């Protein structure tokens, strides 16, 4: 599963993600197929017709989850292709090249084959094939996994881009989303009825990764994490079987899916609780010179601690090539508009405001506002961790370790927690970090084509001074942590997660995640 791109946490940087383009010429090899395809809507063409026309011409070399070489027999792969209502993509096609890409372009991997399921039966077929062949498996929803967990080299990618739909029930105040859906689809449909739930900060984030791992967003302090609003999840587990997880059905699995990430299977459907909310919210941003960063960050910590649930506060220090480096505070307020001015006004006292923008905006438009800066031309590396209350030592270490560089975007940003998030017990769901006040992210972007070695080395060195201020990390931001750190990060919930892993994925088929290793 994937997660939300961290560069968009404050809406500071993101660029429109190109949609996946199917190559009909590659698949529609017969005039009859082309004629039939022309009579159907494009989505039906892709999902229903193109998959069965995939021709497997040879055996395929691949790798297992443990990295061992394996040969997939031509007949077996062809049988898989023919069984799918969706697509099986192989190297050499334009569709394969498009599907294998993820948000972070520095991740450039080539799966041996890509399954694009058009329904849960296709997911089951793909998972069963991968289990039988013991393949390395990656699951891609929106492709936002910064460290590239949604793709792999020489394994199978299960790309859920055809598995998209949203159905809102305005009477019950619920929404059901197919497992490959994007968050913008949920925002668009639910807000049409004056309803909403926490759904990240970038519209093309996939629902699966962000929700299974946690799900922060502009409304999380008011309505809880995305996973706190999940009423039910349908998954295809490693045995290829369908399971529904809710408070009444498979409740232990329901507990584990809410924070355990993609460890237990492929999520094919989510049901969310929705909440009434005014479509317009107050959005504000305040920019200060970097020279005042120490005062601004100290103010940010104190101000955030006293914020009402309706106010989401973010901030950090930012340096972009060719621009003056800055400190920034950004807010989104979803409460009564007549109270907004008094709540936001104190920010002007944080320092010398060099630019300010406060306005009422359409929430759906705000959720899309970061999309245009999606850094598909820029590589990214990050470290992250949860923090408690700001201390003067944290601020000092942040300011002292922050370096401006002419060839990279450098930033340290804070995404606020607290509010409704913190009023849930740490063992009520598998997500244990309920006491955190912020998620601190330190990262760099660089233009693809240049050597990133020095930029990555800088973040690693800087993180040595920042990590002591953290108490664990957000699983969706995982970037090359040790297995010991991963196990410890689940805290007191770890043993329950291991028991679930032993039951639903005893061979660790789903390992490209913040992995819970089975013990059977």
Question: What tens digit of pLDDT does each residue of 120-158 get?
Answer: 999 999 999 999 999 999 999 999 888 889 999 999 999
In the chain, % of residues over pLDDT 70: 88
Joined together, the tokens standing for residue 360 give 């009422």
Vertex 40 angle, CA 39 and 42, to 5°: 125
The pLDDT of residue 104 is 86
The C-alpha atoms of residue 114 and residue 310 are separated, in whole angstroms, by 42
Confidence check: pLDDT of 390 > 90: yes
- Determine the Cα–Cα distance for residues 227 and 264; give it in Å rounded to an integer: 15
Residue intervals in the chain for CATH 3.40.462.20: 280-477
Is the pLDDT assigned to residue 241 strictly greater than 70? yes
Of 372, 379, 391, the closest CA to residue 479 belongs to 379
Beta bridge partners of 378: 447
Gap between the Cα atoms of 94 and 196, Å rounded:
37
CB 417 within 8 A of CB 216: yes
**DSSP 8-state class, residue 248:** S
Euclidean distance between CA atoms 286 and 24, whole angstroms: 48
Start-to-end CA distance of the chain, whole Å, equals: 24
The C-alpha atoms of residue 234 and residue 211 are separated, in whole angstroms, by 13
pLDDT value at residue 340:
97
Q: What is the CATH number of domain 280-477?
A: 3.40.462.20
Average pLDDT over residues 351-363: 97
Q: What does residue 497 show for φ and ψ, rounded to 5 degrees?
A: -70, -40
Average pLDDT over the chain, rounded to an integer? 89
Give the integer Cα–Cα distance in Å for 123 and 18: 24
> Which fold, 166-277+495-504?
3.30.465
pLDDT at 2 over 50: no
How many secondary structure helices (H) and strands (E) does the chain include?
17, 20
Residue-level pLDDT at 263: 97
Interhelix angle for 392-401 vs 453-466, to 10°? 160
Band of the pLDDT at 87, cuts 50, 70, 90?
very high
Q: Which two tokens stand for residue 121?
A: 């039966």
pLDDT 10s digits, 254-299: 999 999 999 999 999 999 999 999 999 999 999 999 999 999 999 9
pLDDT of residue 17: 31
The residues of the chain that CATH labels 3.30.465.10 are 166-277+495-504
Q: Where, residue-wise, is CATH 3.30.43.10 in the chain?
A: 21-159
Q: Please determine, for residue 44, whether its predicted confidence score (pLDDT) is greater than 70.
A: no
Q: Is the pLDDT of residue 355 over 80?
A: yes
What is the CATH architecture of 21-159? 2-Layer Sandwich (3.30)
Over the stretch 90-117, which tens digit does the pLDDT of each residue have? 999 999 999 999 988 889 999 999 999 9
Does residue 43 have a pLDDT over 90?
Answer: no
Q: How far apart are CA 222 and CA 318, in angstroms?
A: 27
Instruction: Please state at what angle helix 392-401 crosses helix 293-305, rounded to 10 degrees.
Output: 140
Residue 199 in this model has a pLDDT that exceeds 90:
yes
To 10 degrees, the CA torsion angle through 80, 82, 85, 86?
Answer: 60
CA distances from 281 to 287, 429, 461 (A): 20, 29, 39
């Amino acid at each position: 599963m994937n997660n939300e791109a961290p560069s968009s946490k404050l809406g500071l940087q993101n660029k429109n993600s190109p949609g996946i383009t199917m190559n009909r010429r590659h698949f529609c090899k017969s005039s009859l197929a082309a004629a039939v395809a022309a009579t159907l809507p494009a989505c039906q063409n892709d999902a229903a017709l193109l998959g069965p026309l995939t021709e497997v011409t040879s055996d395929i070399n691949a790798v297992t989850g443990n990295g061992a070489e394996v040969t997939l027999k031509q007949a077996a792969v062809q049988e898989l292709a023919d069984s799918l209502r969706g697509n099986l993509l192989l190297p050499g096609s334009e569709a394969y090249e498009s599907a294998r890409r993820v948000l972070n372009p520095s991740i450039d991997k080539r799966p041996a084959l890509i399954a694009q399921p058009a329904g849960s039966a296709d997911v089951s077929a793909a998972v069963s094939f991968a289990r039988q062949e013991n393949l390395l498996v990656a699951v891609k929803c929106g492709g936002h996994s910064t460290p590239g967990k949604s793709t792999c080299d020489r394994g199978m990618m299960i790309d859920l881009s055809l598995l998209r739909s949203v159905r809102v029930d305005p009477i019950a105040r619920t929404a059901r989303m197919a497992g490959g859906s994007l968050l913008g689809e949920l925002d668009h449909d639910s807000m049409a009825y004056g309803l909403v739930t926490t759904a990240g900060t970038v519209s093309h984030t996939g629902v699966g990764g962000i929700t299974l791992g946690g799900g922060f967003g502009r409304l999380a302090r008011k309505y809880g994490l995305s996973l706190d609003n999940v009423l039910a999840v349908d998954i295809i587990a490693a045995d290829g079987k369908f399971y529904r997880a809710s408070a009444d059905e498979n409740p232990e699995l329901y507990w584990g899916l809410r924070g355990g990430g993609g460890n237990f299977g492929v999520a094919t459907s989510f049901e969310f609780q929705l909440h009434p909310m005014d479509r317009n919210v107050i959005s504000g941003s305040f920019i200060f010179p970097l020279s005042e960063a120490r005062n601004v960050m100290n103010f940010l910590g104190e101000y955030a601690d006293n914020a009402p649930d309706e106010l989401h506060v973010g901030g950090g220090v930012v340096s972009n090539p060719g621009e003056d480096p800055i400190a920034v505070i950004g807010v989104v307020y979803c409460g009564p508009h007549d109270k907004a001015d008094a709540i936001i006004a104190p920010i002007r006292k944080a320092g010398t405001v060099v630019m300010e923008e406060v306005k009422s905006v359409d929430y759906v438009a705000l959720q899309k506002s970061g999309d245009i800066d999606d850094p598909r031309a820029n590589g990214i590396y990050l470290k992250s961790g949860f923090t408690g209350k700001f201390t003067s030592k944290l601020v000092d270490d942040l300011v002292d370790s922050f370096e401006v560089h002419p060839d990279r975007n450098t930033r340290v940003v804070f995404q606020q927690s607290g509010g409704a998030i913190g009023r849930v017990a740490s063992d009520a769901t598998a997500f244990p970090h309920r006491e955190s006040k912020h998620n601190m992210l330190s990262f760099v972007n660089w233009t693809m084509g240049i050597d990133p070695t020095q930029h990555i080395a800088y973040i690693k060195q800087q993180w040595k001074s920042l990590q002591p201020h953290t108490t664990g990390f957000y699983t969706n931001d995982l970037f090359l942590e040790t297995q010991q750190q991963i196990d410890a990060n689940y805290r007191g919930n770890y043993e329950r997660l291991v028991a679930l892993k032993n039951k639903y994925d005893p061979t660790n088929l789903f390992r490209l995640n913040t992995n819970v290793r089975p013990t059977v």
